[in-house]
Structure 1
Amino acid sequence: MKEEMKSNIILDKSFEFAVRVVKLYNYLCSEKKEYVLSKQLLRCGTSIGANVNEAQSGQSKADFIAKMSIASKEVRESKYWINLLIETGYLNKEDKHTKSLLSDAEEIIKLLASIVKSSQERNKG
């Protein structure tokens, strides 16, 4: 039951993160005229929720774990692109939106790690 509750949280949080990434992409393109790094962020930032959703109808427990693991990799990649956008001056690391986005990414990483770990433990038993 605990995993099911987390799954709902992760579905919501990954969707909200994707919405924020799309809005950030639009901002970076229109205001900063930045198209390359932001496109990379758009791809991985929206992929997190897609993989989490796919995992919900996984063909097996192993398939569920694999999809959630991919989502975890995608959120880590998203953090990379956000940090690169900060270091290249497109985003301000002191901005509340930037801090919040990084915090959300960290929270999603922790949730996914917990889901994958508990699913792997149950799959062994």
Structure 2
Amino acid sequence: MTTDEMKLRTKAFSLSIIGLAEKLSNTYIVKVIANQIVRSGTSVGANYRAVCRARSDKEFISKMNIVLEEADETLFWLEIIKEKDWSDKSDLEMILKEANELTAIFVSSLKTVNKRINQ
């Protein structure tokens, strides 16, 4: 997958997270969680763009680790929403699947660059 394709994919992920948050109820606790997931979920795409501008392998690794942390945090909030049964299951499952796939891609990219550096 190209860098431009990943930029589009992470932006689409951000939009799906925003869409999910917009559908959640307006109770205080749900609003708090919605705020958290919007912050971490949209940060994935925003920080991925920074990864694309990395000037060295070390900078790439540093920035990609931030993307990975945000993706993992987003997965955490998605799991909370799922376990609390706050969202439509089919919508949530698609977003969870994408979050897991993106996380796997980020981990793989980090492993590849770390391997190259250590050789």
Q: TM-score, normalised by structure 2?
A: 0.88
| Equivalences for residues 1-125 of structure 1 within 5 A | 5-28=1-24, 32-33=25-26, 34-92=30-88, 95-125=89-119
Distance 2:106 2:6 in 1: 7
* 1:69 CA drift (Å): 1.3
Between the aligned residues of both structures, percent identity stands at 25
> What do you get for the CA RMSD once the two structures are aligned?
1.5
Question: For residues 19-77 of structure 1, what are the alpha-carbon distances to aligned partners after superposition, in whole Å with 9 as ceiling and x for unaligned?
Answer: 1011111222xxx1131001000000001111110011113211111111111111111
TM (norm. structure 1) is 0.84
Cα distance change on mapping 1:6 and 1:106 into 2, 3 Å = farther
Alpha-carbon deviations, 1:79-103, whole Å to 9, x = none?
11011112223124xx211110000
Using the TM superposition, name which of 115-124 and 8-17 deviates more.
8-17
Unaligned segments of structure 2, at least 5 residues: none
Number of corresponding residues: 116
Instruction: Give runs of ≥4 in structure 1 deviating > 4 Å.
Output: none
Structure 1: segments with no counterpart, 5+ residues: none
